[in-house]
Amino acid sequence: MQTIEVQLAARATKLSTDNNRLEELTRLKDTRGLNESKQKEFDELPDKIKANEELIADIKGEIASKLPTIRDTVNSDATVGEKLKMIFRDYGMTITSILASIGLLIGLIVEAIKNPLHHHPHPHHHHHLRYQTTLLEKC
């Protein structure tokens, strides 16, 4: 089964190809006209493009629906190792999970640089690092 990111990339590629073909056929139509098969292709392309745009919007919506759950995992009280395990267990080896993990690690490094000797007095002390959130929102 394809990951959601692979599906999105495939649809985006198809959309780009269809848009380029429509532009090419439009130029051809304006200069020399279209034969019957190219005219049929020209007439069908707008519907194909619209269908791909709708599928892309659906896939992006599915990705966006995962962000709150990933954000909850990143901001949980679990250790960094546990958070990484949870992210990859729940989302597999996807772009979203990799970016979430990178954001988590960057946040940890930034926090260590900002407070090198600071130990959290309470195990439920939360840090909502903007680096983590920014990377997650770009997914």
Q: Would you say residue 133 has pLDDT above 50?
A: no
Q: Is 0.85 topped by the overall pTM? A: no
> Taking the chain, what is the end-to-end CA distance rounded to the nearest angstrom?
20
Percent of the chain with pLDDT over 70: 71
Instruction: Please provide the average confidence, as pLDDT, over all residues in the chain.
Output: 75
pLDDT, tens only, 52-95 = 899 888 888 877 777 667 667 767 777 878 877 877 777 677 66
Q: Would you say residue 9 has pLDDT above 70?
A: yes
pLDDT of residue 8: 78
pLDDT of residue 16: 92
Helix pair 95-114, 36-74: axis angle to 10 deg: 40
Continuous H helices in 32-74: 36-74
pLDDT of residue 79: 81
Report d(CA 57, CA 8) in Å as an integer: 9
The whole-number average pLDDT for the span 28-55 is 92
pLDDT of residue 22: 92
Burial of 83 (0-12, 13-18, 19+ CB in 10 A): buried
